[in-house]
Structure 1
Amino acid sequence: MQCIILKSENGILIDAGKSTIGGQIMSLTGMVDKRTLEKYEREAREKSRESWYLSWALDTNQEERDKGKTVEVGRAYFETEKKHFTILDAPGHKSFVPNMIGGAAQADLAVLVISARKGEFETGFDRGGQTREHAMLAKTAGVKHLVALVNKMDDPTVNWDEKRYNECRDKIMPYLKKLGFNPAKDLSFLPVSGQTGQGLLEKVTEEICPWYRGPSFIQLIDELPSLNRKMDGPFIMPVVDKYKDMGTVLMGKVEAGTTRKSSTLLLMPNRVQVTVDQLWSDDIEVTSIGPGENVKVKLKGIEEEDVSPGFVLCDVAEPITTGRIFDAQLVILEHKSIICAGYSAVMHIHCAAEEVTVKALICLVDKKTGDKSKTRPRFVKQDQVAIMRIECAGVICLEPFKKFAQMGRFTLRDENKTIAIGKVLKVIE
C-alpha cells in the first residue's frame, strides 16, 4: 500500500492501494507530463519496483532518487487556481507507520483513498487493515478535514455503481465519527478513478456516473477554508529530518511564528544557540519563513550528528517546554490486555518518538459526561478514557494541548499497533 501525504497550505494525506492518484494529479495539473510518467513506469518495471514509479514522479531531484531516501518522505508540488499544494509521499506499509506519522504531522488536510474494488475495501478496513490506522493517525496528527476518495470506481466489479459507493461510505462513516471527525463539517466523500483520472480535476461525466453531481477532488480542496496559524507567536519548528550539506540542514514544518536569515534560534531540548544561514520554502531559497510552510533551514553552530528528529527549533526568548514526566488524557483504542502502572510503549509526539512508561493511573474519564472517577483505577482497558502520569526515557519537547495543540497530542504504539491517542494536560518536570 502506498500512503501519499499531499500537503498544501491546507495539506493532504492519502492511503491509496498502489493507486496512480498522486501521479495523475501531477500530470493533470501539468506538473509532470504523461511521457515522463510512462518512462518512470518502464524504468521501475525493469527494476521490479512497479509500485515505485509514482514516488519517482514525487522525488523530483536526482539526488533523492539516487539515495532512495534522503527524506524518507518524497515531495512535489502542484497548484490550483487559489492554492499551492505540497505532496508528501510517505510509505503506508505497516512497518513504516512511524515514518507515516512524521509525514502526517506535516499535513493539514487528509485524503483517505479507499478502494471500491470487491474484496479490496474489505481487506483494507477489517481489523488489522491499514485504512483504520491511517485515518486515526491523521486525526491524531492534527489533520482538521478528511476527504475520502472512493477510488477504482471504474473497476469491472464496481462499474460506477452507486450501491457499492454508498456501502463503502456507510461502512467507514461510524469509525470516522468515533475518531472525532464531524460529518457535517470535517468530512467529504467523492467517487473517483485514479486510473482514468475521472473525478480528480474535472467533475465525473454524467454518462459515466449520473448519480453524483458534486465537485471534483481538486475543486473541493480549492474551496476548503485555509487554516489560521499563529503568525505572531514565538517561532516553533519541529525537526522531521536532517542531513549534511556544507553545514547542517534541518527539515520540518513551521508550526508558529516567523524567522529570517541570520537570526539566532534555540535548538531544544539541547539548548544550543544556532544561527540561520540559509532558508528554503518548498525548495525555493527565501529570506524569511512563516507558519504552515514546509522548509529546510541551514544552521551554523551545530553538527548534524547532534540533532535528532523530534528536536524543536524555537525562539531564544520563549523556548518550548521540555520535560520527562507529564500528565495526559488517553483514549485506549485497541489493546487486548489491560494497561496498568509500569506498562511501557513508544510515544509519537509531533516528529519525536520516545520510549515511555506509565508511572501512575490518576482517574478514569466518563466518555459521555466527561466526569472524572473519584477513585484511582487499578487498570484501564480498551475503549476507556483515562488520565495517567507518563515518564519518558529522555527529555522531550512538548506543550500542554490547551496551550498549543500541535505540540501536545500524541499516539502510543506497541508491537506495530497504535494502542492509544492522547493529549498532554500538564508537564510535571
Structure 2
Amino acid sequence: MDRDQENIQAIIRSLELDSLKQSNEHVPQEEVKRHLNVVFIGHVDAGKSTTSGQILFLGGQVDDRTIQKYEKEAKDRSCENWYMAYIMDTNEEERAKGKTVEVGRAQFETESTRFTILDAPGHKDYVPEMISGASQADIGDLVISARKGEFETGFEKGGQTREHVQLAKTLGVAKLFVVVNKMDDPTVKWSKERYDEIVAKMIPFLRSSGYNINRDVQFLPLSGLAGTNMKTRVDKSTCPWWNSRCLFEALDSVEVPLRNPNGPVRMPIIDKSKDMGTVIMGKIECGTIREGDKLLVMPNNAHVNVIAIYCDENKVRHSGPGENVRIRLTGIEVEDILSGFVLSSVVNPVASMTEFNAQLQIIGLPDKALFSAGYKSKLHIHSVVDDCEIVALERIDPRTHLPIRGQAHFAKNGDVVRCRIQVSNMICVERFSDFPQLGRFTLRDSGKTIAVGKVTGLQI
C-alpha cells in the first residue's frame, strides 16, 4: 500500500470513530471500539463451533468453571472433544446431534475491536441458516479440517466448503480467513506439506469464486480444540515453519468496511420477540437509529416509534451501520412482523414489490435442467426467503455484456442472464448499486445453490 492510500485509510478510520463517538455520546471515549461481524463457515465437522467457543474462552467471555461443566457433559455423552463447541451450540438438539443447526451468536473483544461471532451450520440441510448468518457478516472465517480425508470430503463435489465460499462471496463477505484447523491431529502433526497441499488446492477455487488472493484472503494454521495459534502465536517448537500472525492478530488487522451513518435507515429484521412490547433484532446496514426516531416497518408500511436500543446487551441512545441491535418499538404488534421485513426511514423508505429485474450467473442447475421462463426456485435475499419464478430472461455475452440475439431463451450452467423475477409475497429489495446488502441474492433448488445474482431494476 502506498503512502497516499495509507493516509486515506487513516482518514476513513478517524471519520468512522468520530461518527461512532457522536452516536454514543454517553459511552466514555476510551471505551469506543470499532466493530466487525465475523461468520464462521465451512463443511460439517470442520470445527467451526469448537473454534468459535475457544475464541470466546480465550477472549475472557467464558470462565474455567463453565468449561469444566461442558467437559463433564461432553464426556457423559462420550463426545470428549465436543466440549468447546457447547459454548456456541447451546440447544439440546445441537448437543445431541453434535452439529450446529442454527446460527449461534456471541461477542468478544480484542484491544482495538469488538467482534460479533456468527457460527453458521455446516450441514447441507441447514444452508438457509448459513445464508442468514453470512448475510449479516463483514468478514468470514472459512474453517477447514486438515485431518486426512476430512478436507477432501468437504472440498470435493457434494461437500459444503465450495458452496459456502460461493455463498459468502455473493452475500458480501469481502474478506476471508481460511483457517486450516486440526493441525494437531495425529494424521497431520503440524505438517507443512499437508498445510501447503490444502492451500494449493484452495487458491484456484477461491480465485474462481471472485476472491483476490493477495488482497482478500489470509491462510493460517491452528488447533481450535487446543487453542494453538489463536490468541498467541504458535510456539516454534510446535510449528517451526510458521512465521506469521495468529488468529486474533489477523482479525485485528482487518479494515472496517465503508459504512454510511448518515444515509437512510435500512435494517433487515432477522428475529422478533415480545419483551415489554415489540422487540426486533437485526443488523443496521445503513443510517443511524436513535431513541425517539419515527420509522417505518416495511413492506406493511407500519409507522413505529423507537423506544429503546440495545447493542451487545447494553442500552444505547444511538446505533449506526454495522451494529447488531435489538430495538423496542411501539406502533406495531409482534405478530404483524415477519423475518425479512425491513426497518426503514420514513422520508426515503425501502422499496417493496413482488417483481424486480436482475442479472444472474447460473452455477449449479440440477442434472438435465434448463433455466428458462417459468423456472421456480427459492429466493434468498438479506433475511428474506420466498418462492420465486423467472418470468422473462435473455442470455448475456460475458465479453460484451450485450444480449445474445437469435438463440433460445434458456440458460445452462455458467451462463449469465438478465431476467425478471416474480416472488409470492411483497418483499423489500433495493438495487445492488444503491444498497448492496439488500440487492444481492441467491437462488436455490433441490437443496443446492443454482444461481447468484444482483438486483438491477425495481418494478415499482
Aligned counterpart, 2:154: 124
What count of residue pairs does the alignment treat as equivalent? 415
Are 1:287 and 2:287 counterparts?
Answer: no
Deviations 1:306-356 (A, max 9, x none): 111110000011001111111111111111221111000000000001110
Q: Where in structure 1 are there 5+ consecutive unaligned residues?
A: 1-7, 66-70
Counterpart secondary structure, 1:149: strand
Residues in 1 aligned to 2:425 and 2:80: alpha-carbon distance in whole angstroms: 41
Residues in 1 aligned to 2:247 and 2:66: alpha-carbon distance in whole angstroms: 23
Counterpart secondary structure, 2:57: helix
One-letter amino acid matched to 2:390: V
Aligned counterpart, 1:273: 303
Q: Percent identity between the aligned chains? A: 47
Are 1:342 and 2:368 counterparts?
Answer: no
Residues in 2 aligned to 1:281 and 1:59: alpha-carbon distance in whole angstroms: 22
Are 1:389 and 2:415 counterparts?
Answer: no
Shift of 1:103: 1.1
Shift of 1:13: 2.0
Residues in 2 aligned to 1:255 and 1:53: alpha-carbon distance in whole angstroms: 35
Contact persistence 1:401–1:407 (CA under 8 A): yes
Are 1:228 and 2:258 counterparts?
Answer: yes
Residues in 2 aligned to 1:385 and 1:282: alpha-carbon distance in whole angstroms: 41
Contact persistence 2:138–2:175 (CA under 8 A): yes
One-letter amino acid matched to 2:450: I
Are 1:416 and 2:447 counterparts?
Answer: yes
Contact persistence 1:9–1:227 (CA under 8 A): no
Instruction: Give the 3 Å change call, closer, same or farther, for CA 311–393 of structure 1 in structure 2.
Output: same
Equivalent residue in structure 2 for 1:318, among 338, 348, 362 = 348
Shift of 1:55: 5.5
Equivalent residue in structure 1 for 2:393, among 331, 339, 361 = 361
Are 1:218 and 2:244 counterparts?
Answer: no
Aligned counterpart, 2:219: 189
Q: Where in structure 2 are there 5+ consecutive unaligned residues?
A: 1-33, 96-100
Aligned counterpart, 1:32: 62
Deviations 1:79-109 (A, max 9, x none): 1111011112332222211112111111110
Instruction: Give the 3 Å change call, closer, same or farther, for CA 365–395 of structure 1 in structure 2.
Output: farther
Deviations 1:128-158 (A, max 9, x none): 1111111122111111100000111111111
Aligned counterpart, 2:36: 10
Write out aligned runs for 1:24-423 (5 A): 24-46=54-76, 53-54=83-84, 56-58=86-88, 72-335=102-365, 336=367, 337-366=369-398, 368-375=399-406, 377-423=408-454
Contact persistence 1:241–1:309 (CA under 8 A): yes
Instruction: Give the 3 Å change call, closer, same or farther, for CA 50–343 of structure 1 in structure 2.
Output: farther
Shift of 1:375: 4.1
Which TM-score applies when normalising by structure 2?
0.85
Residues in 2 aligned to 1:327 and 1:144: alpha-carbon distance in whole angstroms: 24
85-94 or 384-393, larger mean C-alpha shift: 85-94
Higher helix fraction: Structure 1 or Structure 2?
2
Contact persistence 2:298–2:341 (CA under 8 A): yes
Residues in 1 aligned to 2:319 and 2:374: alpha-carbon distance in whole angstroms: 43
Instruction: Give the 3 Å change call, closer, same or farther, for CA 90–403 of structure 1 in structure 2.
Output: same
Shift of 1:372: 3.5
107-116 or 85-94, larger mean C-alpha shift: 85-94
Counterpart secondary structure, 1:165: helix
Instruction: Give the 3 Å change call, closer, same or farther, for CA 365–401 of structure 1 in structure 2.
Output: farther
Contact persistence 2:53–2:86 (CA under 8 A): no
Residues in 2 aligned to 1:9 and 1:373: alpha-carbon distance in whole angstroms: 45
Residues in 2 aligned to 1:372 and 1:183: alpha-carbon distance in whole angstroms: 31
374-383 or 311-320, larger mean C-alpha shift: 374-383
Contact persistence 2:359–2:418 (CA under 8 A): yes
Deviations 1:147-186 (A, max 9, x none): 0001111111111111111111111221211111100110
Residues in 1 aligned to 2:154 and 2:89: alpha-carbon distance in whole angstroms: 26
Aligned counterpart, 1:3: none
Instruction: Give the 3 Å change call, closer, same or farther, for CA 219–339 of structure 1 in structure 2.
Output: same
Counterpart secondary structure, 1:184: helix
Contact persistence 1:281–1:295 (CA under 8 A): yes
376-385 or 299-308, larger mean C-alpha shift: 376-385
Residues in 1 aligned to 2:187 and 2:349: alpha-carbon distance in whole angstroms: 56
Deviations 1:218-255 (A, max 9, x none): 10110111111011101110001111122111110000
Instruction: Give the 3 Å change call, closer, same or farther, for CA 318–58 of structure 1 in structure 2.
Output: same
Instruction: Give the 3 Å change call, closer, same or farther, for CA 370–52 of structure 1 in structure 2.
Output: farther
One-letter amino acid matched to 1:354: D
Instruction: Give the 3 Å change call, closer, same or farther, for CA 108–150 of structure 1 in structure 2.
Output: same
